[in-house]
């Protein structure tokens, strides 16, 4: 075991990790934690159980990202999500669970997205107006460059959700470079790095990281069983394989930048000597 991984194994209060000489907690930018809205928890009790697990993982802030558009068309509009976030935060406080939830959405790709943003019907991450979590279809590959350009004209940057599951063979393709040029970012799922979605998604997830094309890791957790948050273990695996600087950037620094409306930093800023490919 490397020194960096040994250091990251020190556990602190509220699931915090000791990294770079200080205690750190994660921000999760993609999580289905709101009760009764989508394929996440059905009840407040289940939502609290998931949030308790997220807190134990070391997550301080969760962006609630219920599905919007696609099969959830007409449901989960911005006002509904904001109200559900307020209710969950109140229950978290009453149950002394140390996490904060902020509003967001996982928005299915749709030609009406810009208009729906203007009429406040779908949500950007942390309601900040800077980053939109965009879900692409699984079955067909579509070029979203026109939508990325339209969003960029509104000063909104897109984050492609669970890219490793949607683009498993495309991690090296030139098309993705065009998307990156249009202010797109790629989010990969912590549990994919650990093999929970099979070898193809696992390979693609690591490929996205080692090629420097994924800037963010999130849990995309739905429950405490089959789709549970695995940020802590993923962080340790990334530290071990690619260095703690890169792990810190994709799991801690960049997710925090998203909710604070700051620019996402590229992986090229990491010390390449630390990367053991």
CB of 237 to Fe ion, least distance (A): 21
Report the nearest approach of Fe ion to the CB of residue 244 (Å). 27
Contact between 28 and Fe ion (CB under 5 A)?
no
Examine residue 220 and tell whether it contacts Fe ion (CB under 5 A): yes
β-partners of residue 18 are 23
Q: Tell me the two tokens of residue 239.
A: 């530290």
Between 165 and 257, name the residue whose CB sits nearer to Fe ion: 165
Q: Which two tokens stand for residue 137?
A: 């279809």
Number of residues that bind Fe ion (CB under 5 A): 2
Q: In the complex with Fe ion, which residue's Cβ is closer, 57 or 220?
A: 220
Distance CA 68, CA 60 (A): 24
Nearest CB to Fe ion, comparing residues 192 and 239: 192
Picking from 150, 139, 156, the residue whose alpha carbon sits closest to that of residue 111 is 150
Binders in 6-25 for Fe ion, by CB under 5 A: none
Which candidate, 39, 67, 209, 223, places its Cα nearest to that of 137?
67
Contact between residue 122 and residue 68 where contact means Cβ atoms under 8 Å apart: yes
Please report whether residue 253 would count as binding Fe ion according to CB under 5 A. no
Least distance to Fe ion from the beta carbon of 239, Å? 25
Q: Give the DSSP letter string of 218-262.
A: E--B-SSSTT---HHHHHHHHHHHH-HHHHHIIIIIHHHHHHTTP
Cβ atoms of residues 103 and 96 within 8 Å: no
93-112 mask for Fe ion (x: CB under 5 A)?
-------------x------
Minimum CB distance to Fe ion smaller for 164 or for 220: 220
Whether 72 contacts 101, CB under 8 Å: no
Per DSSP, the three-state class of 134 is strand
- Min dist CB 81 to Fe ion, Å, is 14
Residue closer to Fe ion (CB basis): 4 or 187: 187
Contacts with Fe ion in 102-161 (CB under 5 A)?
Answer: 106
Write out the residues near Fe ion by the rule CB under 5 A. 106, 220
């Amino acid at each position: 075991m490397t020194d960096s991984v040994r250091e990251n194994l020190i556990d602190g209060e509220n699931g915090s990790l000791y990294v770079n000489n200080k205690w750190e907690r994660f921000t999760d930018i993609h999580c289905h934690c709101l009760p009764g809205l989508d394929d996440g928890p059905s009840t407040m009790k289940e939502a609290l159980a998931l949030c308790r697990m997220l807190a134990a993982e070391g997550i301080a802030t969760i962006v609630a990202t219920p599905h919007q558009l696609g099969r959830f068309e007409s449901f989960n509009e911005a006002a509904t999500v904001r109200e559900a976030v307020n209710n969950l935060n109140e229950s978290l406080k009453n149950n002394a669970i140390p996490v904060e939830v902020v509003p967001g959405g996982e928005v299915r790709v749709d030609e009406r997205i810009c208009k729906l943003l203007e009429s406040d019907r779908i949500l950007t991450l942390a309601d900040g107006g800077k980053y939109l979590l965009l879900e692409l279809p699984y079955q067909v590959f579509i070029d979203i460059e026109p939508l990325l350009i339209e969003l960029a004209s509104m000063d909104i940057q897109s984050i492609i959700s669970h890219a490793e599951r949607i683009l498993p063979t495309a991690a090296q393709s030139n098309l993705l470079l065009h998307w990156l040029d249009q202010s797109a970012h790629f989010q990969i799922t912590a549990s994919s790095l650990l093999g929970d979605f099979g070898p193809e998604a696992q390979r693609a997830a690591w490929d996205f990281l080692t090629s420097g094309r994924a800037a963010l890791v999130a849990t995309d957790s739905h429950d405490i069983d089959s789709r549970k948050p695995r940020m802590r273990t993923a962080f340790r695996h990334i530290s071990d394989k690619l260095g703690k600087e890169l792990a810190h950037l994709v799991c801690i620094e960049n997710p925090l930048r998203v909710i604070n409306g700051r620019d996402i930093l590229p992986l090229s800023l990491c010390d390449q000597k630390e990367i053991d490919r």
